[in-house]
Chains A and B, each alone.
Chain A
Amino acid sequence: MAVLKTSGLRKTFGDFKALDGVDIEVEAGEVFGFIGPNGSGKSTTLRVLLGILQATEGKAEIFGLDAWEDAVEIHKRVAYVPGEVNLWPNLTGGEVIDLFIKLRGGKPDGKREELIRRFDLDPRKKCRAYSKGNRQKVALIAALCMDADLYILDEPTSGLDPLMERVFQDYVMEVKAQGKSVLLSSHILSEVEKICDKVAIIRQGKIIETGTLKELRHLTGTIVQVETKLPIAGLREMKGVSGVTAEDGVVSFQADTEELDAVMRHISGFGITRMDSSPPTLEELFIRHYEKADQPGGVD
């Protein structure tokens, strides 16, 4: 059974459609990556899921309960880190962590001190003295030291340095190993690639692609780099070939999976001297999706 499920989720602010049909589903033990640029609706979706905003239309459920009606019941088993962490300037980081733990009604499972040490946070400092990264650490520590079933994290590493990012990823893996679920919004695609099982791409309030990374890659095809004895003719016109560039005799392009066979046959006629192929990175996937959507007759 899905831990978290939205269907046909819509949210409007006045005339502005912030969410225009969001369907996502997170299973138990799954790390779900939610990617999209700024203003595409990631945070709005997470806020609806937390019952901070009420959906205009559609359903948002966590643990089979309604995100708006049963918010308090749900929150007992959810840990959340908002995208923009604003804290109380006159409280210390340690005080905020303790307050958050108590407000969730749970007991900390003894990881508080360990997390503070590993994230290298000084809990005696007032929040006004913290940098963005340190405020994020406070929220992350408070979230991770709770024994929750679902972790909703809104761009949790945007202010962290690479070392702290690693610490964060370790903890996500630990949580996942315990069979818990994570919904992680991000625009750091390498991170999503590293730790997420499933990915959804959102654009202007709509989910435009969702699936495992493998599925997404299958959909988009392979990146090919090739050197040939003779210049390759007619490649650009072939079906399923896109993004052709040539530099220093090396031709690179992207080939759709269904057409790969035909494309390779065509190229081999020009005498291959060297060839490389790789699955597209998430970044390439992402950019491809966005470029496709921007063309007339694209996703819109």
Chain B
Amino acid sequence: MIFNLYKRDVAYSLIYGKVKFVLFFTVIGFLAAMISSQLKPFYSNSAGTFYQLLKDFGYLEEPSHFQLPAYWVFIQCSVQFLIGDFLTHDLKNNGRYLLLRCRSKSTFILAKIAWLLTINLFIYGGLFAVIYLASCFVYGDFSLDSSPFFEDHVATLIAPAELVARIVIGYLLTGIVLSAIQLLLLQFLAPAITFFAVVLLGSLSAIVDAKWLPGIHSMILKQEIFAPEQQLSFGFSVAYTAVSFVLFSAVTFMAFRKKDIR
């Protein structure tokens, strides 16, 4: 039964949200193409576009130097909206019909938790594919090797392909934690309040550098490879995400089992 529910959640969410997904990926593709066009004269390739589009502005040393990582905020907010929109619609309109068929609140919510992981993988896999294809189309080059732009502007010793992987996985980690928090808050709060709380929590990392906030794990310039003195390692980000996801999911599981379905 749990697999049937999970399959249904995945299929339903993709069909329900298809216009929004297409819109989101179109905007991302447009941004990737635009940035690639700007970087092309500097002999960049797709790795440069990934870096330029998905990077943040690093640790804030002077408040007056603050810059809003607009693309980063846009992507985090959009992904949480896509996820929250489906969760709200499905819990409100379909929850009772699904629960009375599966006859188990535990099965129902476990399927939703499994769906959260899947939809994050789908969205960030799609994000990677769209940026890669759009930028390759502009550059006419499908490699993720080093380029003159990368060597001149990206101050790191790791290979471009590995950097791209770290950036995209970092976004995935933040997405997983924020969406798990969103599912939890939806058990207690109105959808609009939940969404703004999650967006606020995610965006807080643009001004607060705490390792315990979910947003920082998708900020490549705050990672150890760019800021060794801050000691925010990729391993810590993965462990933080795993522990947070299990913790938030467990609380959601317990809360949902006791919750009235209205």
Is B one of A's binding partners?
no
